[in-house]
Structure 1
Amino acid sequence: MRLSGRVALVTGAAGGIGAATARALAADGARLVVADVADGARTVAEIEAAGGEALALHCDVSDPVQVEAAVAGAVERFGGLDVLVNDAGISGGSSLAHETEVEVWTRVLAVNLTGTFLCTRAAMPHLLESGRGRIVNVASTYGLVRAPLAPAYCASKGGVVNLTRQLAVDYSGLGVRVNAVCPGYIDTDMGGYRASLGPEGQVAANARREAAAALQPIGRQASAEEVASVVAFLVSDESSFMTGSVVTVDGGCTTTFNHG
């Protein structure tokens, strides 16, 4: 129980990598705050069924008022905050830069990059008070290498990568370690690799899954749980000399720069 007695807030935890991370941290002994614009009741139920303790809170990470309320709710319920995982994110679709709507660009950066900043800003006083504060930002391989038709997403995740390094410089000496994970092609709903649109939709989802697997030297996609296990390591004391690290969990795809 590496995280016994600690309180963790995970954004985007109603599904995908966020939900898997919340379950992994709870399995390590943490008490969890599941924060998402979607209903986090299922994640909470899964944690409680396994003997853990969790609280679901509605939170749009692009809204500073909602972010402050979520952090305050965590502290009120559990008495403090030790871990923040900034996972909430959106893709923004596929387009050339000059064809990308300004509203799309603004929303993607608001959620992916500004949301990471807002959650960090709200949580930091409590993480400093904890004396064992940990932050993991979920970036992307698209924040490290090029990707076709994803200007807003690449810009936002590249920002998350460098924000992670900057935060590590400023706060590691104050007792808060900050790291990032960069997932590759993960088998989640966000990636469009699953579908609930009937047979035709599932055929399309399967084709996307096969294409993504072909881009990774390891020959398959990762599960959300495989990313979550890396996050759990980074917030534990086992990674005590790691800060400012950007860890790829990508099956080797960034070694080839073959992103389609």
Structure 2
Amino acid sequence: MILNPEGERSLMLGQLNGRVALVTGASGGIGRATARALAAAGAQVVIADVEVAAGEETALALRDEGATAQFIACDVSDPEEVRALLEQTVATLGHLDVLVNNAGIAGSAKRLHELEVDDWDRVLAVNLRGLFLCAKYALPHLMNRRGVMVNIASTYGLIGAPQAPAYCASKGGVVNLTRQLAVDYGPSGVRVNAVCPGYVDTDMGGQRSRMVPPQAAAALERREGNAARQPLGRQAHVDEVARVVAFLASESSSFMTGSIVTVDGGCTSTFNYNQ
């Protein structure tokens, strides 16, 4: 069951009051839903993304709902932009309590020998290097506040998947970097967990929007068909992922660190035919 906005607010109401949360890749999809869930729980939210118009619209929508929210443009693969992002966040809001590393791209759907080196490098730069950079510059602030990091990985970081070598490699790196950060920073009071979504009802990176309509329809049909073979038989709504992120960001998960949490309708628990 998908909670309505009132149900979502009552579920987490006040749990993040006084906290400052930074969500990367938050102009749409899971990131936007996560920013909204954190705001609904009382957090002041910073939205970071390369998509300026959509990011500003997301921040405005949250402010219209009564939240404290702002947008900061940032390419997470650029160390200077990430450094500036963290500096501006703390200078404006005073501190940082929650970092959600959500920014990610899918890359080209090809087998490895067909993949261009630049395609591989770009996926790893955003999905893994970007997480490293955001964590690097956020961790001193998180240690000051005994804060929380939530990394958005993927079921593709747990299994092999067809024609996704760079994406699988990058998300596998996110999964194990999450565990490693939990080991190093637990003694400093920082909890680090990851969420692995499966099929989610969102067009990641606007891939289908760049296809001609028949191709986009076929791609969506394939995705929905794969999701239908899962135990729960459907794709997730972005809010269903966002609520898990908000839980991990809150004190309700106070004894969880190094956890890799699947939100996948059971897809990694069964054999998904006809990938």
**Which stretches in structure 2 are left out of the alignment for 5+ residues?**
1-13
Deviations 1:175-224 (A, max 9, x none): 10000000001011117696486853663354134223223210000011
Contact 1:192 1:208 in 2 (8 A): no
Cα distance per residue 1:32-53 (max 9 Å; x no partner): 1100000211110121111001
1:44 corresponds to 2:62:
no
Q: Counterpart in 2 of 1:125? A: 140
When structure 1 is superposed on structure 2, of 241-250 and 208-217 the one drifting more is 208-217
Aligned to 1:65: 80
CA distance 1:141–1:185, shift in 2 (3 Å): same
CA distance in 2, matches of 1:189, 1:143: 19
Larger deviation, residues 96-105 vs 207-216: 207-216
Aligned length, in residue pairs:
259
Q: Among 160, 164, 171, which residue is 1:157 paired with?
A: 171
Matched with 1:84 is 99
Distance in 2 (CA, whole Å) between partners of 1:43 and 1:212 is 30
Mapped to 2, the partners of 1:108 and 1:219 lie a distance apart of 29
Task: Say if 1:206 and 1:144 are closer, same or farther in 2 by CA, change over 3 A.
Answer: closer
Would you say the 8 A contact 2:128–2:174 is kept in 1? yes
Identify which range, 162-171 or 212-221, moves more after superposition.
212-221
SS at match of 1:80: coil
Asked if 1:190 corresponds to 2:204, the answer is yes
In structure 2, which of residues 6, 25, 45 is the aligned counterpart of residue 32 of structure 1?
A: 45
Offset, 1:139 = 0.2
Contact residue 193 and residue 206 of structure 1 kept, 8 A: no
Q: Matched residue of 2:89: which SS? A: helix
Q: Is the 8 A contact 1:59 1:66 kept in 2?
A: yes
Matched, 1:8 2:30: no
AA aligned opposite 1:190: M
2:183 maps to 1:169: yes
Q: Which moved more, 1:93-102 or 1:247-256?
A: 93-102
Distance 1:205 1:99 in 2: 20
Matched letter for residue 58 of structure 1: A
One-letter code of the match for 1:10?
V
Q: What TM-score does the superposition give when structure 2 sets the normalisation length? A: 0.90
Q: Which residue of 2 aligns with 1:107?
A: 122
**Alignment TM-score, normalising by the size of structure 1:** 0.95
- Gap change, CA 1:187 and 1:194, over 3 Å in 2: farther
Q: Is the 8 A contact 1:187 1:209 kept in 2?
A: no
| Contact 2:226–2:272 under 8 Å retained in 1 | no
Deviations 1:149-191 (A, max 9, x none): 1110000000000000000000011110000000001011117
Tell whether the 8 Å contact from 2:105 to 2:205 is kept in structure 1 after alignment.
Answer: no
Percent of matched pairs sharing the same residue: 63
Once residues 203 and 234 of structure 1 are traced to their aligned partners in structure 2, the CA distance between those partners, rounded to angstroms, is 35
Work out the CA distance in 2 between the residues paired with 1:142 and 1:152. 10
Q: CA RMSD in A?
A: 1.7
Structure 1 equivalent of residue 113 of structure 2: 98
| 3-state SS of paired residue (1:4) | coil
3-state SS of paired residue (2:169) = helix
In the other structure, the counterpart of 1:23 is 36
Task: Extract structure 1 runs of 4+ deviating beyond 4 A.
Answer: 191-199
- In structure 1, the residue matched to 2:68 is 53
CA distance in 1, matches of 2:229, 2:258: 27
3-state SS, counterpart of residue 232 of structure 2: coil
Distance change >3 Å, CA 215–CA 193, structure 1 → 2: farther
Which of 160, 174, 180 does residue 146 from structure 1 map onto? 160
